Amino acid sequence: MGITRQNILDTDLYCLTAEKFSLGRSNVEVVRAMLDAGVKLVQYREKEKKAGAKLEECRAIREMTREAGAAFVVNDDIDIAILVGADGVHVGQEDLPVEEVRRLVGPDMAIGLSTHSPEQARDAIRRGADYIGVGPIFRTYTKDDVVDPVGFEYLDYVVAHHDIPFVAIGGIKAHNLGEVVRHGARCAALVTEIVGETNISEKITALRKTMKAAKE
C-alpha cells in the first residue's frame, strides 16, 4: 500500500526543511541526505522565498521523495502542494480552515493542522484534519510567529484522549527527544537538529537509537 491520508504519519522522524540553518546547503541537498538516511517523511517549509523558487524546489523534492517511497508534505502553500502532487499539506491555526483546504486539495491529500491546546485538538478532529501537530513542546526559534511552549501537559492530553495521528514538534533536540517519546509521541519533528548537522545520516541514526531506547 502506498502513502495515504491514513498512514502518512506511520514513521518516527518528521523532517522539515530550513535552508537558513542548513550550513550553506540547498534544501534539495539536505533532503537528498535525509532520504539517503532512510527518512520517510519530509515537510517543505520555507516562509521567505518567492513562489516560483519554492515551486521549483518542491518539484525536485517531490520527485526525490517519490523515488524513495517517502511522503512529501508542503507547509502552508496549498497551491504548490496541488501543483507538485504532494502527499500532504500542513496548515496553521490562522490559515484557511481545514474544510476549505479539503475543497481545494481533493479527497486524497492528507491535511495536517498545527494545534496548541485541547480545544484546538478537538476542533481539528471535528473539522476533519488527518493529523495534528502538537506543540511547541519546547521553545523554538525556527519560526518568527511561534506561540509559547505548551510543554508536556498538552502532549499528555492528546495521548490520553484522542486517537488522531499526531507529530510532536517544537524545540525538540537530541537531548530531550527521549523524554518526548516517553510521554507517548511515536512521531517527532526536528528541524535545526537535523538540517544544521554536518553529517545528517549519522545524526538521524543517533536520533533513531534514542527513540528506540526510550520506547523500551
**Residues tagged active-site:** 45, 114, 143
Residue 78 sits at the vertex; the CA angle it makes with 70 and 128, to the nearest 5 degrees, is 80
Residues 6 or more apart in contact with residue 1 via CB below 8 angstroms: 7
- Reported as half-sphere exposure (CB side, CA atoms, 13 A), residue 120 has a value of 20
Distances (CA, A) of 116 to 62, 113, 120: 29, 10, 6
Residues 6 or more apart in contact with residue 163 via CB below 8 angstroms: none
Q: Which of 5, 8, 9 is nearest to 186 (CA)?
A: 9
Query: Residue 132 in contact with residue 121, Cβ under 8 Å?
Result: yes
Distances (CA, A) of 196 to 95, 129, 200: 28, 30, 8
d(CA 214, CA 182): 6
